[in-house]
Structure 1
Amino acid sequence: MHLHPLTLFGALLLAGLADRAVAAPENSPTGKTCRCLPTQPCWPDKASWDAFGQTVGGLITTTPAAYECHDPHYDDAKCQEIQKGYFYDHWRQHQPGAVQQTNWEMVGDKGCLGFNKTSQCYQGAVPLYTVKAMTFEHVQNTVRFAAKNNIRLAIKNTGHDYLGRSIAASSINLWVYYMKNMDFSTDFVPEGAPAGSSGSGAVVLGSGVMWKDVYRAAEDHKVVVVGGAEATVGTSGGYCQAGGHSPISPKHGLCADNVLQYKVVTADGELKVANSYQNTDLFWALRGGGGGTFGVVVEAVYKTHPAFKSINFAAYQLYFLNATETLPKILNAFLSRQVQWSEAGWSGYVYVLENFMAILYYLPDADLTTAKTFLDPFFGEIEKLD
């Protein structure tokens, strides 16, 4: 058996807001109805769409990411640029008609995948229009228009959602990716708190900020923030609203435990502040799963914590020539130590495949000698399994 340092890794985290935050139409006595489709008389006319666009800084007619690679829309120069970035997260998060997993851009077998110029390019699940939201008012106006016209609303930051909730066919795409305000404070006090309330360390984040950006800024401020481990996870969407596990959760809790305040646009288009002092039911709901079911979070405030004095990171790849015999023994050696390691403050991620295992573990605020007292016996045991 051979152990190799792991240089690249990603954590499977749910992110992205849920795709429905629209009030039921007033003419629906039961509140249960299908959304309006472009083929129906209820669909707004061009003048209505144009007027709406003026309230949100312009409206993007959205096409699939590979649109210019297919006839009759083929454009050689544009298609070459698309091919360079098509399979990269960073490129996809900048495209209004793309999400991180291409299967969610499909409706059944109808989509616009790949670069075969003669193959049919279907709209699939890609929204028909995109609002590039830059302000709270853009979000409010979008929610109100969707509610008034009974149009499905898809809310997206980077499109990192393994359940495909940031994309929907025949919808308006509310794209919050460019709402990137970020402000660190040492004495944040939630709105509505009693006079004289003490402040605490916090970071105020627009809903388009990604965790990788927060971590860079947090280092400059000598603080840490509980967040995700994957570069394209957004800070204010489904990651935290569904709990939000983190490598530092054993020390500082889940992301949901660290929320101090949300600003959220509810289904009636109103901007509300939700924290421990006002709209407490909404504050509770937004930290318990469901995400965009309750509204569109446009700003989130999270606790900050003092920077770690040190952090140990153990990363290994294990490859098995005889997994049938070796893997159960390694898992037994690994799992039998988890209670002890957890009590000592270790946390992280483990990936187990047929003939491969990756271990990514963290131990904050401990020296290397302490870390090795846990790791050396484990790796010594599995080295003997050759």
Structure 2
Amino acid sequence: MNRRAFLKAIASAAVIPILPILPRRLLASTNFRRRRPSDATWPSQSAWKQLNEAVGGNLIPVDFPLSVLKTDPDGAVAKRLSMILADPYYIGDQPGLTQTLGWVDAWATQPSVYAVAARNAHDIAEAVNFASENDLRLVVKGGGHSYQGTSDAPDSLLIWTRHMDEIAMHPEFVPQGCEHTLQPQPAVTLGAGTIWIQAYDSVTTKGGKYVQGGGCATVGVAGLIQSGGFGSNSKHYGTAAGSLLEAEVVTADGQIRIANACTNPDLFWALKGGGGGTFGVVSKLTLRVHDLPEFFGVANFTVKASSDDAYRRLIREFVSFYHKHLFNDHWGEQTRMGSDNKLVISMVAHGLNLEQVKEAWQPLLDWVARSGSECSIKGRTVFGAIPARHMWDVRWMKEHWPEIAFPNPNGSFLIGLLDYGLLHLIPQPLVDFDSRPGAGPNNVWWKGDGGQVGWFIWGYESLWLPASLLEDGAQQRLADALFAGSRFSDIGLHFNKGLAGSPPDALAWAKDTATNPTVLTAFALAIVADGQGPAYPGMPGHEPSVVEGRKAAERIDRCMNQLRAVTGETGAYVSESNYFEKGFQQAYWGSNYPRLAEIKKKYDPDGLFFVHNGVGSEQWSADGFTKL
């Protein structure tokens, strides 16, 4: 009996519990190494043909679109490359590309040898079995947004879930096996290849409900949930992982399993924030859905200080203002503090109308007015509210704002925010559209997310900021640290990525995930990052600047050290953190790591699933090919 037949045979005995199996590779006298195409033991063409037949003809050789820079550097495609690399939908449709093209001194996107363009869990299981039996490096990609390149590896087999984008709404959902323990609740089931704009279109625009997902419209559903997952309204609803009710997942033994609170509950918990591509390949996810508020609001403006001393006072005032007026579950998104002595406000509100939005910010505007020449508002002051159901409704935007919803020369659309028919602000460009022929009408992305499409990272770090720093006796220390850090690099404070101030339900759901528990008592996540793009080694005119990148990474680290001086090592968010994160186990998962490590051993004893800085990755070489 071969290994696959054996696994299928034991899987049919449902009464037998899953037990840890001693990995056969640990018995080897030499270090185990996965196979590469240059090895004599690389699968034969007939073996690949059999895999292709097993997955219904969906095995494809992976092309590398950037290779045209060498084969035809002066051709039309090469000349257009920098433009199409700024389109996240184009990148998402290429199995050989990732949304981030690389990181200085860390990695650069490279294609797999073959990809299984999976249509269902059966295709995934066939790919998992083939990789396991042939000792191949396996990677999984849905949205492909990983900054750390976790869905990318040369000489590998790729499981590509892009086409698994089916969506089903459930007015009353009960996880399998939980019929006698859990009450029915509204939910949505999403295929692993679904991106968030598709989820919001179905759940909110068409369904009149809300699902907690990511703020970036083109991020993949599965990857975001497995890493924890924050969106603009996480301060109110909690993390995306906290909304997970059930997952269909293929584990390393090739079995298709259901994971929820009643069936395989340990695997279910690990999938809620334990890191994507680590415990198995998710094929479907079911999330709870929520009632929509009447409005989503927005506040956008910039305050400029005339001197360093004035900027210190501005930051101090903002910290106090935030604590008094915004430290609640209504407000999310971010502010930016930089060396240019500007405080940039880019925040959104849950459940507030236009007057309530304006009222919330009036104390800070009054303080700026009283400051005289020390501080002033630069540019437009934008306050608005939009009926929540139309937040991602592209057709509604075009129909209700005909005079301001039109393509401008660069292909973006100009839209405003509407408060029940009252246009309250000057239109500004908020979204960009996929301009490729035949592109779907909902292929849009927020303009503010455009900078991370096709970029090459110089440095990226994050740090949870504890709510204790908002107490009266600590506000000055926080303000001083923010000012000192801003001398080195811009600091983004993402208030929706810290759950202090959230409602009890949101905190309880988030607590029951693998995410670092520090998030429960953090009021924000500080992010400091820099990069360039589109950029890639060998792209004429768009080569990554290694020298500038190293300098930027040093500035970022010095900036973060100012914040660490007042927070300590509170941890980082796995999806938005340093590729070279020291002690990533503690930083990403805190006290949850030992439990995650045990679950990894149980469901993936041979380490088939490897991602950079993932659970169990310390047992492998940096490229995931050699067991240490």
User: Smaller-chain TM-score range?
Assistant: 0.7 to 0.9
- CA deviations on 1:344-377 (whole Å, 9 max, x unpaired) are 6322222333224432222222333332222011
Could you tell me how far 1:208 is from its partner in structure 2? 0.6
Could you tell me how far 1:317 is from its partner in structure 2? 4.0
Could you tell me how far 1:337 is from its partner in structure 2? 2.3
2:327 to 333, 342, 359: 342
Aligned to 1:226: 212
Aligned to 1:235: 221
Q: Which residues of 2 match residues 113-152 of structure 1 at below 5 A? A: 125-152=110-137
SS in 1 for 2:90: helix
SS in 1 for 2:221: coil
Query: Does 1:362 find its partner at 2:348?
Result: yes
Could you tell me how far 1:162 is from its partner in structure 2? 0.9
Could you tell me how far 1:179 is from its partner in structure 2? 0.3
Hey, which of these two has a bigger chunk of helix by percent?
Answer: 2
Could you tell me how far 1:273 is from its partner in structure 2? 0.4
Aligned residues: 347
CA distance in 2, matches of 1:332, 1:134: 53
Aligned to 1:331: 315
Q: Which residues of 2 match residues 139-288 of structure 1 at below 5 A? A: 139-195=124-180, 197-219=182-204, 220-237=206-223, 239-288=224-273
- RMSD over aligned CA atoms reads 2.6
Distance change >3 Å, CA 51–CA 317, structure 1 → 2: farther
Aligned to 2:47: 48
CA distance in 1, matches of 2:75, 2:203: 43
Distance change >3 Å, CA 257–CA 307, structure 1 → 2: same
Query: Does 1:87 find its partner at 2:81?
Result: no
CA distance in 1, matches of 2:175, 2:232: 27
Contact 1:222-1:307 at 8 Å conserved across structures: yes
Could you tell me how far 1:252 is from its partner in structure 2? 1.4
Higher mean C-alpha deviation, range 183-192 or range 62-71:
62-71
Aligned to 2:276: 291
- CA deviations on 1:93-148 (whole Å, 9 max, x unpaired) are 111110011126x9979x7xxxxxxxxxxxx7321111111111111111111111
Could you tell me how far 1:272 is from its partner in structure 2? 0.4
Identify unmatched segments of 5+ residues in structure 2: 1-20, 377-628
Distance change >3 Å, CA 368–CA 85, structure 1 → 2: same
**Structure 1 stretches of at least 4 aligned residues deviating more than 6 Å after TM superposition:** 106-109
1:379 to 362, 365, 380: 365
SS in 1 for 2:228: coil
Could you tell me how far 1:289 is from its partner in structure 2? 1.8
CA distance in 2, matches of 1:24, 1:94: 39
Could you tell me how far 1:65 is from its partner in structure 2? 1.9
Aligned to 2:394: none
Could you tell me how far 1:327 is from its partner in structure 2? 3.5
SS in 2 for 1:290: coil
Query: What's the TM-score, normalizing by structure 2?
Result: 0.52
CA distance in 2, matches of 1:339, 1:243: 25
CA distance in 2, matches of 1:346, 1:62: 43
CA distance in 1, matches of 2:295, 2:106: 49
Distance change >3 Å, CA 274–CA 108, structure 1 → 2: closer
Query: What's the TM-score, normalizing by structure 1?
Result: 0.82
Identify unmatched segments of 5+ residues in structure 1: 1-22, 112-123
SS in 1 for 2:246: strand
CA distance in 2, matches of 1:323, 1:217: 49
Aligned to 1:14: none
Aligned to 1:61: 61
Distance change >3 Å, CA 294–CA 70, structure 1 → 2: same
Identity across matched positions, percent: 28
Larger RCO (CA within 8 A; separation ≥ 6): 1
Letter aligned with residue 268 of structure 1: D
Query: Does 1:29 find its partner at 2:27?
Result: yes
